[in-house]
Amino acid sequence: MTRAFADTFYFLAVLNRHDPAHQKSLEFYGDDSLNFITTEWVLTEVGDATAAPPARQKFRELMGVLTDDDQVKIVTASHELFERGSALYFQRPDKKWSLTDCISFVVMSDEGLRDALTGDRHFEQAGFNVLLPEK
The tens digit of pLDDT for each residue in 62-113 reads: 999 999 999 999 999 999 999 999 999 999 999 999 999 999 999 999 999 9
**73 lies in some domain:** yes
**123 lies in some domain:** yes
**58 lies in some domain:** yes
Q: pLDDT band at 135, cuts 50/70/90?
A: low
Alpha helices by DSSP H, listed for 16-134, are 22-29, 40-49, 55-68, 79-91, 99-111, 121-125
Range of the domain at 78: 2-130
**116 lies in some domain:** yes
What does pTM read for this prediction?
Answer: 0.94
**8 lies in some domain:** yes
The tens digit of pLDDT for each residue in 117-134 reads: 999 999 999 999 999 977
CATH of the domain at 60: 3.40.50.1010
For the chain, first and last CA: distance in Å? Answer: 28
**135 lies in some domain:** no
Beta-carbon count within 10 A of 54 CB: 7
Domain count, the chain: 1
| Dihedral of alpha carbons 134, 46, 40, 90, sign | positive
**15 lies in some domain:** yes
What is the DSSP code (8-state) at residue 7? P
Beta-carbon count within 10 A of 20 CB: 14
Looking at residue 1, what is its pLDDT?
59
The tens digit of pLDDT for each residue in 20-52 reads: 999 999 999 888 899 999 999 999 999 999 999
**112 lies in some domain:** yes
